[in-house]
Amino acid sequence: MQATQQDAGNMPGASTFGRHAERDAALATDLARYRWLMRSAAALVAVFAAAIVYAAHAAASDAEFYLVASIVFLSSLLGFLALAEHSRKTHVDSERRYRARLFIRNLELQDMAMRDDLTQLFNRRYFFERLRRELDRARSLQSPVAILMLDVDKLKGVNDAYGHKVGDMVLLNLAKLLVRCTRASDILARLGGDEFGVIMPETDKDGAFAVAKRLQQALEITPVYKQDGDSLKMNASLGVSGFPWGGDTVDELVQWADVHICAAKASEKEDAGSLSNARGRSRKKGLATEKSPST
């Protein structure tokens, strides 16, 4: 399901659903108009047939009248049957397209309900629901599963110094960095605020720590925000846990990862020349470069 993470930027928004609603309304209008045209055509055929029968009755003998009437009746019946069949096929095709579009939209709505609005990663509820399923699967198959928890350091300072818009851009770029540093099969989520989580199925302890190391190295060299030639790098405290080496319940896995995060925060080195000094610079060009501590 990680393919959906990489396609997060393509998720439908309000404007997309607005266009879908307009197309559905247009389809319903076209279908109603088509039905009206079919009924009008049937009525015209009936009137035309009645006029022919009346003219034949007035100008011909009984034998000729019955012959003309039979021909008109059969022609009208065949015309009605052809119109009815064409109308049925058109209605069925339109109904199928409408139901298919409605099904796709329902899937899109369900996916939106599982997404974080800002980063388009999965949200907290889906993360823990999926973690329970993956853990149950790992226990039944006796296969490993790992999680990585990430807590962004000093994000409040960024919001205070540069505004929440810059803070949102930091979170968005961190989400993109997470996507680049993880596999297509991993499940990424924003757990709330400055916290992120990654579920890594079929990943043992060494593999989990390798992902954490790769992510930490990427944070050290990759700016999460750029403006006018200045760049901002952020620290992040990482915690890794997994089954069976970190516990066999969701609470135990999360608690073990939190222990790692707390240990990383406790060993964090204060950098007096980074974000704190940058607050004295202008908002426009006051972006600082921070060095990320090792986990």
Q: For 164-182, how does the pLDDT look when each residue is reduced to its tens digit (9 = 90+)?
A: 999 999 999 999 999 999 9
Fold category of 124-278 in CATH: Alpha-Beta Plaits (3.30.70)
Higher pLDDT, 268 or 149: 149
Q: Average pLDDT over the chain, rounded to whole?
A: 76
Q: How far is CA 62 from the centre of its chain?
A: 73
- The confidence score (pLDDT) of residue 61 equals 55
- 67: its two tokens: 């012959």
- The confidence score (pLDDT) of residue 287 equals 40
DSSP 8-class letter at 248: S
Span 243-280, pLDDT tens digits: 999 898 999 999 999 998 988 887 765 442 233 223 33
- The confidence score (pLDDT) of residue 291 equals 36
- The confidence score (pLDDT) of residue 35 equals 64
**Other CB atoms within 10 Å distance of the CB of residue 23:** 13
Dist. CA 82–CA 143, nearest whole Å: 62
Q: In one letter, which amino acid is 9? A: G
Dist. CA 173–CA 119, nearest whole Å: 8
- The confidence score (pLDDT) of residue 264 equals 82
pLDDT at 221 > cutoff 70? yes
State the DSSP H helix or E strand holding residue 252, giving kind and residue range, or none if neither.
helix 250-266
Using alpha carbons, select from 163, 140, 136, 183 the residue that is nearest to residue 286.
163
- 246: its two tokens: 């970190």
Say what percent of the chain tops pLDDT 90.
Answer: 38
- The confidence score (pLDDT) of residue 254 equals 94
Span 7-54, pLDDT tens digits: 444 444 445 555 555 565 565 566 666 666 666 666 666 666 666 666
DSSP 8-class letter at 182: S
Phi and psi (nearest 5°) for 23? Answer: -65, -40
**Across residues 63-67, what is the average pLDDT?**
63
- The confidence score (pLDDT) of residue 9 equals 44
Say whether 195 sits in a helix, a strand or coil: strand
Phi and psi (nearest 5°) for 144? Answer: -80, 155
pLDDT category of residue 95 using cuts at 50, 70 and 90: confident
Give DSSP secondary structure letters for 134-163.
HHHHHHHHT--EEEEEEEETTHHHHHHHH-
Q: In the chain, where are the structural domains located?
A: 3-113, 124-278
Dist. CA 211–CA 150, nearest whole Å: 12
Phi and psi (nearest 5°) for 201? Answer: -65, 155
Dist. CA 155–CA 164, nearest whole Å: 10
pLDDT category of residue 295 using cuts at 50, 70 and 90: very low
- 106: its two tokens: 């329902």
pLDDT category of residue 284 using cuts at 50, 70 and 90: very low
- The confidence score (pLDDT) of residue 189 equals 97
**Other CB atoms within 10 Å distance of the CB of residue 293:** 19
